[in-house]
Amino acid sequence: MRSNKRSHTRKARRKRVVPLEKIPTNRIRFVFLILCFSLFGLGGRLAWLQVLQASALEARARSSQVQLTKPLGIRRSIVDRKGRLLALDEERYRLWVHPRYFNFPGDDPELIRKPIDVARKLSGLIAMPMSEIIERVGNRPSGIKLVEDLDTDTASQIKQLGISGLDLELYPQRIYPQGSLFGNVVGFLNDDRIPQAGLEQSRNRELIRHEQPRSLRRGADGTPLPDDLAPGVLYGDDLRLELTLDARLQELAIKSLTDEVKRWNAAKGVAIVMNALTGELLALASTPTYNPNEYWKFPPSRFREWSVQDLYEPGSTFKPINLALALQEGVINKDGKIDDTGSIKVGGWPIHNHDRAANGLIDYPKILQVSSNVAMVKTMSRLDPSIYWDWLKKLGLDIQPNTDLPGAVAGQLKRKSEFVSHSIEPATASFGQGFSLTPLKLAQLHALIANGGYLVSPHITRGLGGGYSLLSVPKEEKVQLLDEEVTFIVRQWMESVVEKGSGKALKTPGYRIGGKTGTAQKASNGSYKPGAKICSFVATFPIDSPKYVVLVVIDEPQGVNAYGSTVALPVAKEIIDGLLVIEKIPPSTKRTEFQPAQG
């Protein structure tokens, strides 16, 4: 029975097997054609993408793989001679808000938060009341500048909030850490970052960093890929504009000058400290000045540096220069004397000493000690007016000085025909009137006396520096205008002013200092302004090895006792005392006879 059942099962299985049938030829051809057309279409598509669309697709790929960073436009810093920052760019942020996108982390993507929700989180970070934030947002849906001048830390805290609809815009902000201390020199940028004054304007090209857009490829995981980098793309421009000025001396000078201008209720004042050997300025202080961080709070007249842009008659501080010219031409000798009669008439014009006193027969050191106008007129009358004018021309009184100080102007000198034909012109020029110059020019001429007769170019920049020097002040060939012995003699005479004359208050134990006071009438619109004075003092030291010139000029001090010795000299005294410490100047040596410089 069991064998019959098994046999029956096998037969049933054989009946379920479907016999193979022959596939129609047309069907095979149809499938083959479909496959061929598919392969042909795929090949065509590949050819289209790889040949015709290759450049466009590559560009799209590059754009998604390459991170392009544009330069922020940061300017180079400005530093003093010791590397103290005077001007620099810092990163700042503007906060833009877009209320239609307000959404907090974890919110439903479709949820739009109300401005009050965002204001509640922002008010503590940007120091702005919630009510003001809401008021500024108003009903506008987007593009609202809420606040600017945010520092990096505050911007980072805002980013950490993760609030959609807040956009931080990075921009550079020019900062002047020393405030008004160097405002007259450095200048400032306006809100559009356009230079408006000072070195920011005159040295604008050197202060612009040499930067280029930076592109960097990244892998799928964000890893930077160092291939295809443009040459110099990773170069960091860390150069700075280095000045010759010293912030310590500048601070001392501006404080002393400001106190004295206030004390005498003067219009303005300037103090200049120059290295007579190189022309470097260690201090250039003016008052009143301004704070470049808040330039909009000050009148535009403050933006001018009057020590290089305003002209004045130097008065008695020019007398040592005149005596040097007379010595150089041999019309006087160091042991000569002049009869000071107290008054004299020249071309019908009366000329008096400042005190109208006659000093009798006096030598040249005494002329400077008492600042005799009459003796100077008689001295310079020995010099032919034509030669005298030629010397004033050679000194460059009417030529714009070769300097890097912005806005420097030339002085004014009468035409030679007028100077020679009118005897009053050389007479008034002998005591420093009838022509005009800038305080900077006068400092340059006294450096000529200090350094042995060389006319150096006053400057405040050393050049661009960082790890190495890139741009420096070009070295000029020194041209000697006066004999070294002539300048030596004049310095001895100037020293006598401090030892015995109107500069006694400048005496400093252990140091030999020369000086000259000046109290001149102030010219205005072709005539002298009644009662207006310009008081000044110039010092050269150390006399045994001259290196520094200090000039102080104060315009229109008020009071009957306003003179160079009472108004300007105290400022020069404080500056010199500070300079002795800052530059570590050793005490002077004993007096020596003239010895020519070696080489």
- The residues that are catalytic are 316
**CB-CB neighbours of 398 under 10 Å:** 16
- Residue 416, SS3 per DSSP: helix
3-class DSSP state of 222: coil
Residues 6 or more apart whose CB falls under 8 angstroms from that of 330 comprise none
Q: What is the DSSP letter of 179?
A: G
| DSSP one-letter code for 566 | I
Biggest CA-to-CA distance, the chain: 171
The single-letter DSSP state of residue 18 is: P
Among residues 319, 351, 533, the alpha carbon closest in space to that of 431 is found at 319
Residues near 361 by Cβ (< 8 Å), separated by ≥ 6? Answer: 337, 338, 339, 340
**The tokens of 482 are what?**
């006066």
Output the CA–CA distances (angstroms, integers) from residue 45 to 36, 40, 60, 148, 394, in the order listed: 14, 9, 18, 52, 85
For residue 288, whether the previous peptide bond is cis, meaning omega lies within 30 degrees of 0, is: yes
Tokens found for residue 558: 């008020």
Report the amino acid identity of residue 102.
Answer: F
312: helix, strand or coil: strand
- Length in residues, the chain: 599
- The answer to whether the beta carbons of residues 265 and 557 sit under 8 Å apart is yes
Contact, 546 vs 447, CB < 8 A?
A: no
* CA–CA separation, 249 and 243 (whole Å): 13
DSSP run (H or E) holding 344: strand 343-346
